[in-house]
Amino acid sequence: MPDADGDTYEAAIDEAIATCNSDMRGALKALLIANELLEAEVAALRHSQGAARKRDRRAEAA
């Protein structure tokens, strides 16, 4: 997790911009896409966790 003082955030921002050849719009787009992928991964994990809980409840009831 980044430091509360923001230095780590600044470094991450600088790295993202540098990775996109100083194109701030490209860096922002890349970060938004990465965030969407992470949100989809979290949703998939929550779904699989819910399915596992249902399966466990059925096994306990049997």
What's the pLDDT at 6?
A: 78
Task: State pLDDT tens for residues 36-54.
Answer: 999 999 999 999 998 778 7
26, 41, 53, 58, 61 from 48: Cα distances, Å: 33, 11, 9, 15, 20
Q: How far is CA 50 from the centre of its chain?
A: 19
- Of residues 14 and 61, more confidence is placed in 14
For residues 32 and 53, what is the distance between their CA atoms, to the nearest angstrom?
A: 31
Can you tell me the mean pLDDT for 9-34? 96
Q: From CA 39, how far away is CA 62, in angstroms rounded? A: 35
Tokens of 56: 């466990």
